Amino acid sequence: MPPRFETARFHVESGPDSLFIRIRHIMREPIRLKAHGAHAAQRLQQRGAPLEELTCFDLESWELVSAEVRTDTGKWVKSTWRVRADARDWWVVIGLGNALVTVIDVDPWRRGRGQNIVTGGPLYAHVESVNADLMRGA
């Protein structure tokens, strides 16, 4: 089934700053992630992931890596976070509604700066503007 909308990925090191400020603002309170989806449950099991640690989100101990936004609205839909658990580094992808989307066991050096990261242009400016406006209303 094709996605309902197109998304683009941004990295925390290359911005836009307003997007990452907004994500941290929204995720500022510790929460229990919901790992109810079939894909998330399958990945947790396949990868031997520590469910308890990877569903206890806390901004103080998790590092924001990247975010995906809708290209039409410029609003955040998923974010990827790095956390150390069970003596391994994990990327945990969190969707809207505090849903755990997937988990990936990663090497400590991996930073997520791939070719698909948007670093400038009209979409970048749109996302910066939308999220700056949303933060003014926060």
Query: pLDDT tens digits, residue range 119-131?
Result: 999 999 999 999 9
- Torsions phi, psi of 33, nearest 5? -75, 145
Rounded to an integer, what distance in angstroms lies between the CA atom of residue 99 and that of residue 2?
20
Q: How confident is the model at residue 73 (pLDDT cuts 50, 70, 90)?
A: very high
CB 43 within 8 A of CB 103: yes
pLDDT average, residue stretch 109-135: 91
Rounded to an integer, what distance in angstroms lies between the CA atom of residue 117 and that of residue 115?
6
pTM beyond 0.75: the answer is: yes
More confident residue, 113 or 18: 18
Q: Would you state the pLDDT for residue 112?
A: 75
Give CA 64 to chain center in angstroms.
7
- Look at residue 100 and give its three-state secondary structure: strand
CB 55 within 8 A of CB 100: yes
Asked whether the predicted pLDDT for residue 100 surpasses 80, the reply is: yes
More confident residue, 1 or 95: 95
Q: How confident is the model at residue 6 (pLDDT cuts 50, 70, 90)?
A: very high
Q: Would you state the pLDDT for residue 59?
A: 96
DSSP assigned state of 34? B
